[in-house]
Amino acid sequence: MNESERKSESNIVLALDSVPSGSKNLLSKGLEILRRVHPYICAVKLNRHFLLPLGLYDGVKRIVEEAHSLNLPVIMDCKINDIGYTNRVIAENYFNAGFDAVTANPFVGWEDGLQPVFEVAEKMNRGVILLVYMSHRASWEGYGQTIYDSETGEKKLQYIAFAEKALAWKADGAVVGGTYPEKIREVYEILKEKVPIYSPGIGVQGGEVKAAVLSGARYLIIGRAITLAERPEEAAKFYRDAAKPHGDLVSS
């Protein structure tokens, strides 16, 4: 990611999850958008929007290969969240299909939970990005709840505990919704530069570039604001430039 960010001079991760309604061929439209916006992004993120209709080793693999041909790493936003054996198999399949990183949910814990995912990732030289605080309105119900830390005997917020796990487990990234800049700021105080923050929810969900970046987000995950734009390449360029230190931070 560091190398891709440096070469593209961009910290924008394209969430290639939705294409304009009425598109007859999901794969061809996805590839078209990717080719048009690639100069302005540093990575691609895929979710189940493409996986379910196109298949992991068919259409999705073609998107991954196209992204790699454009020197872009690809993240599978699968939110791994099961028992260890299942998690290991899930991670192996995504990595074998070419994905460079996966997202995972720390709710399942380490032992017989996410430990196998980290082991597979290390063996295959891939990454694991942990969910710390999501971007939707109900995030507080789970990630914002107050918990009891049995190790310290203290009460703390769930997302603070998850940020601490991201650091302890040496995660390759932490997801914190761009719709909650105050949460980004709190998590950044824990992670500093050791674990980069990825912030989704910029644009359509209401997250703002300036607030997210100034709060500590390293990468901005942007989907519909780019993919559903009439000219996605112009939208991608706008967000790339807006995220720069002296960029135009007022959305048009």
Active site residues: 79
d(CA 203, CA 243): 13
* Token code pair at residue 252: 């048009």
Report the 10 Å Cβ neighbour count for 167: 17
Q: Which residue has the tokens 């100069």?
A: 39
Which of 39, 35, 17 shows the shortest CA–CA distance to 26? Answer: 17
What does 187-203 look like in DSSP terms, one character per residue? HHHHHTTTS-EEE--BS
If you count DSSP H runs as helices and E runs as strands, how many of each does the chain have, helices first? 12, 10
d(CA 176, CA 83): 24
Question: What b/e string do you get for 98-116 counting C-beta neighbours within 10 Å, with b at 16 or more?
Answer: bbbbbbbbbebeeeebbbb
d(CA 3, CA 218): 14
Burial class (CB in 10 A: 0-12, 13-18, 19+), 163: buried
d(CA 157, CA 171): 19
* Token code pair at residue 186: 């709190």
